[in-house]
Amino acid sequence: MDAQDLGYALTQVVHNLGAVSVTGGAAAARCLRFSEPQAAQRRLVWLVLAGWAAQGASGATFGAISYATYGRFPDIHGIAVAALALKMVCAAAGFSLGVLYLVRASGWSAARRQGAWSALFGFALAALTAAAFLRWFS
């Protein structure tokens, strides 16, 4: 088994689990009743935060494996660069909003919390869509 392929595969596992966490966590949270106690929502925020962290770390690891193997990063242009930039913005925004939620959401109205989850779900969908373009364009 090739070490590079194994590295890519294991990194892809983390990346995929991160994608599931950010999307599924936000989707599940939007199904909750926002007027009820916040414990479930806070648990889901932790899941989403972990997911964005995994996405960012594994994305960087993809580049690191390429650099370690060939001495250069993936050769991407045009649409793929835009897709990668969008993924990075979504990860940064999703992670930041998740942290903000943990710190401040206890004082937020139900509508505001719902809005935050909608935004987190939107970031996740945008990142997933961008990932497809990053994979097939370069």
Q: What residues line the site for other proteins (CB under 8 A)?
A: 2, 4, 8, 62, 65-66, 69-70, 72-78, 80, 136-138
Number of C-beta neighbours around residue 82 at 10 A? 15
CA distances from 127 to 4, 6, 76, 113 (A): 25, 24, 17, 21
CB 65, min distance to other proteins, A: 7
CB 136, min distance to other proteins, A: 8
Comparison of 15 and 113: residue with beta carbon closer to other proteins:
15
Comparison of 2 and 39: residue with beta carbon closer to other proteins:
2
CB 134, min distance to other proteins, A: 9
Comparison of 62 and 108: residue with beta carbon closer to other proteins:
62
